[in-house]
A and B are shown apart, each in its own frame.
Chain A
């Protein structure tokens, strides 16, 4: 390993973690302000201009709070569970490309922390580990509400992980790779390229829709919908927030957590929201790709910055969508959740794989 590689990796990790953690802090405030706007109230607006320093004040408060561990709790696991949650939340972003390449230190640097061959599987595997943070937190607290929250969450995560993995398979079949940067590259061609193969009675579509970029959302609409729904379930967001349903479970799995240990769960939930929005962007919405940006005649460096900005804007739009959904929809009942997961999402994503396979066979 040469030193430049190590230094560049550290720099990229710093950028990603700084982005995700700052983003999470801003998101907490954005969530409270947007919910206030939806419910016709003001929201936190006293700390700093427009309440911008509210998150900083909250973090300081959490850091200085007493760390209370219930007497009957399993101390080691109780301490360990938030570590698992935050580790998973902060490492998932490693394989997501947040830009194309950029000129730095005299070489072309790929804007992705870990450029591995199996990016998509890595994300699915880490989601699987993420279950433990919540399950073990629920069990180790020795509290019935916590245990119920933990059990609900593991059942929910396992059920929706399946349809999440299966809806990615459609994307893998189209792009023929597990590398997320190649998935993005595959989406940069204009749609007209792949529309040449359409049968003659559909050729009129080329002038109508050919100017669109070939983002996977146009090829995989069903996969896109199932993936977005599964991501909502995986991040424990409404309408799938049964693991921490306040009216029935007090706080769910984190009932017995105080101070910064609770803060870590909170932080990882928001970091997961950012990461899953980034993943949706990368897999279905073209990642950093902005149509026609190449034809603006920008310098390579400015173009790289534009691409990073595009990625950022797409992720922001998705995150705001997450927040608006949370404050619009009511919560599912548990049996509805399971029925949706196993009787609607799973058959739908399997049918999607079948349809994708047939279409690919027919087109090639």
Chain B
């Protein structure tokens, strides 16, 4: 095994182990903390897929943004309520359906990808960022704009909810 293979298994192990803690841990702070490692491991796996831009975006958006807010919420609520918040399974069947669908998509992707050609791609690829930017503003401009409008709606909505609670 060369260095890259070992590193790949290290990152895969981090991702899977942390994800297991997130799912099976009953202690919500521990679960939120394990999510940090899961996101980090996934970012490492993106690097192995030569998606450098996606990897850094994963770190910036999920670890630098979303997870900070989750940990914020968990930290504050746990201290204030004085009750240990425990997680327990709810809505088992809808969850099973969604996970099965997701697994189907992922396995389909796995089979349809031409893994043998990955070697050629790794030598041919240079910077992914300019191409991604071009495609987002030409071919995929509609999904890009729709996503930004949805984000704007979420922003306005959350600001509204926060304001209303303060007035009552």
Contacts and interface: CB of A to CB of B under 8 A. Distances in A.
Interface of A: 1, 74, 77, 116-118, 121-122, 124-129, 131-132, 135-136, 139, 147, 150-151, 154, 158, 161, 178
A254 to B, nearest CB: 17
A151 B73 CA distance: 11
A147 B56 contact: no
A178 B127 CA distance: 10
A117 B79 contact: no
B126 A117 contact: yes
A85 to B, nearest CB: 14
A129 B79 contact: no
A125 B68 contact: no
6 contacts: A117-B126, A117-B127, A118-B129, A147-B79, A154-B68, A158-B68
Interface residues of B, number: 23
- Greatest chain B CB density within 10 A among A127, A132, A150 is at A132
Interface string B22-46: 0000000100010010000000000
Contacts of A135: 68, 71-72, 75
Contacts of B65: 128, 158
Nearest to A125: B59
B17 interface: no
Interface in B78-135: 79, 126-129
Contacts of A116: 52
A62 to B, nearest CB: 27
Given A117-B52, A117-B128, A147-B75, 9 more contacts: A118-B127, A118-B129, A121-B53, A125-B64, A128-B63, A132-B63, A135-B75, A150-B75, A158-B68
B114 to A, nearest CB: 24
B84 to A, nearest CB: 13
Contact of A121 (B57, B68, B126): B57
Interface of B: 3, 29, 33, 36, 52-53, 56-57, 59-60, 63-65, 68, 71-72, 75-76, 79, 126-129
B53 A154 contact: no
Nearest to A132: B36
Contact of A118 (B33, B56, B76): B56
Given A1-B3, A132-B36, A117 B68 contact: no
Contact of A154 (B29, B33, B57, B72): B72
Q: Nearest 4 CB-CB pairs, A to B?
A: A128-B64, A125-B59, A121-B56, A117-B127
Nearest to B58: A125
Nearest to A130: B64
Given A122-B56, A132-B36, A127 B64 contact: yes
A129 B63 contact: yes
A118 B72 contact: no
B59 A128 contact: yes
A70 B133 CA distance: 49
Contacts of A154: 68, 72
A139 B73 CA distance: 12
A118 B53 contact: yes
A361 to B, nearest CB: 15
A161 B64 CA distance: 9
Contacts of A118: 52-53, 56, 127, 129
A268 B43 CA distance: 24
Contacts of B53: 118, 121
- Greatest chain A CB density within 10 A among B29, B60, B71 is at B60
A150 B74 CA distance: 14
A234 to B, nearest CB: 12
B129 A178 contact: yes
A218 B54 CA distance: 32
A127 B65 CA distance: 11
Contacts of B60: 121, 124-125, 128
B75 A129 contact: no
B129 A117 contact: yes
A125 B63 CA distance: 8
A24 B159 CA distance: 41
A129 B72 contact: no
A131 B57 contact: no
A32 B65 CA distance: 35
Nearest to A122: B56
B49 to A, nearest CB: 14
B64 A129 contact: yes
A136 B71 CA distance: 9
Nearest to A176: B130
A131 B52 CA distance: 22
